[in-house]
Amino acid sequence: MTVVAMSQGELTRFDILQRVERGELRVSDAAASLSLCPRQIYRLRDRLRADGAAGLVSRRHGRASNRRLNDAFRDRVVGIVREHDTDFGPTLASEYLAEQHGITLSRETLRQMLIAAGVWKGKVAKRAASSSRATGASAAASWCRSTVRTMTGSTGGLRTFDHVLHRFPFAAPLRRGAASVLESVHVSLTACRPVLVAMIR
């Protein structure tokens, strides 16, 4: 005796199709009950006649779902790219996968895979990070130039860091309590030294 494992939905189909076979239910009513079209009812009836209850069992039983297969494939692709070179862009990675592993993917499909896995950053993300660094550096450079020009009265011609220090008013005798001010100024100028060198060039 053969035992057929069926889901609840498959059992319902089996019962309704048997009623159709016995003439107890019209095809149109069976289609309405199962939310199928009459053509599908005829097809299921033919499978029932040919294979019995086993003909109504989904052919996907025991097989991995498309999603699980897709996830496994994606993990394999991302793993290959990550293992060989994390700096691979979508174009180079696509060519490498095709040539070395026989995996053919469009550049855009691979790009989306790599971005989702965190292996590759899109142009927008890269541009934003670059812009943030550039903005910070620009702001610091502007502050340094402004500080130097305000304190020295100079708009150019700063040849050396020592030259700037010699032009400061505090080269004259300092008043009482000015030592702390001098120290603050010196610290600020020390931080600005890279900017001063750039201004010289």
Report how far apart the first and last C-alpha atoms of the chain are (Å, whole number).
94
Query: Is 2 within a domain?
Result: no
Rounded average pLDDT over 150-179: 45
Say whether both 14 and 49 belong to one domain: yes
In this prediction, residue 194 carries a pLDDT of: 56
In this prediction, residue 177 carries a pLDDT of: 44
Q: Is pLDDT at 6 greater than 80 in this prediction?
A: no
Query: Is 52 within a domain?
Result: yes
Q: Is pLDDT at 26 greater than 90 in this prediction?
A: yes
Query: Is 166 within a domain?
Result: yes
Q: Is pLDDT at 12 greater than 70 in this prediction?
A: yes
Closest by CA to 192, choosing from 167, 153, 158, 157, is 158
Backbone angles phi, psi at 116, to 5 degrees: -60, -35
Residue pLDDT, tens place only, 105-154: 778 888 888 888 887 776 544 454 455 555 555 555 555 555 555 554 55
Closest by CA to 148, choosing from 168, 128, 124, is 168
Residue corresponding to tokens 């592993």: 101
Write out the residue range of the structural domain in which residue 99 sits. 66-116
Indicate the residue among 116, 137, 157 that finishes a domain: 116
Rounded average pLDDT over 147-172: 47
Residue 175 DSSP code:
P
Query: Is 194 within a domain?
Result: yes
Total number of domains constituting the chain: 3
Query: Is 182 within a domain?
Result: yes
Between residues 186 and 84, the one the model is more confident about: 84
Whole-Å CA distances, 140 to 32, 41, 135, 159: 73, 75, 9, 20
Joined together, the tokens standing for residue 85 give 């070179």
Say whether both 156 and 178 belong to one domain: yes
Query: Is 61 within a domain?
Result: no
Residue pLDDT, tens place only, 38-92: 998 898 888 888 888 777 776 555 445 555 547 788 888 888 888 876 566 788 8
Say whether both 77 and 16 belong to one domain: no
- CA-CA distance, 41 to 24, in Å (whole number)? 15
Query: Is 121 within a domain?
Result: no
pLDDT tier, 96 (very low <50, low <70, confident <90, very high otherwise): confident
SS3 annotation, 95-157: HHHHHHHCCCCCHHHHHHHHHHCCCCCCHHHHHHHHHHHHHHHHHHHHHHHHHHHHHHCCCCC
Backbone angles phi, psi at 43, to 5 degrees: -65, -45
Query: Is 92 within a domain?
Result: yes
In this prediction, residue 29 carries a pLDDT of: 92
